[in-house]
Structure 1
Amino acid sequence: MSRSHIRHELSELEANLRKELGALLRLNHLSIDCESLSLSSLIDELTAAKLCDEPLFLKLTQLDAAMCQLDIDLYGLCSDCESEIEQQRIDANPLEQRCAQCAADHEHEHRQELRLTH
């Protein structure tokens, strides 16, 4: 997949997430200009509004990471082991940050942490 195609796909995803965010902001009676703010500024505003627990917040942070990775030619590399992320994982989720093995390891560690804290 070409870099321009990936950027186009991520831009389409960004537009959709911004629309979803507009609905979330209206629901919470917040007036954040989600159309003109940069992704990082938008993430800062959502943090200040205490909306970090929203699934949409996670998607926006993943999108921001993917865009940054694309800018520095690291898109498609695992954030843990730096191996290439399997193409089917990227096709299923263009915001994927981990290869299958590291994702499984991360999930296992996260479940262990949850057991220890509860």
Structure 2
Amino acid sequence: MNKPHVPYAQREQGYREKALKMYPWVCGRCAREFSGKRLSELTVHHKDHNHDNNPEDGSNWELLCLYCHDNEHSRYTDNQYFAEAKPGENGPKQTFKGLAGLADLLKKQD
């Protein structure tokens, strides 16, 4: 049986409210505390990066500040990129070597 489609903003508001009731208002990475107007800077991060995985016990959530949340997603994206590289490749190819002719220039000066 398919679940009815719930708009993302509405779904997010539901698990955010639950997470803020369950957990202390502290970033799980940098340990900064949040309250008042600054509470909006505290986000709910899905540990498995699946926004549809929202168990009632909150076991897939952690509260992260905006900065730590962005960092977490950047690291996740980087890991995916490097995991998809073909064997022997380590990410982007180097196409420019700024000091390529330096050895020849130093030899000429001797």
Could you tell me the TM-score, scaled by structure 2's length? 0.37
Question: Which structure: greater helix fraction?
Answer: 1
Question: Which structure: greater strand fraction?
Answer: 2
Pick the structure with greater CA Rg: 2
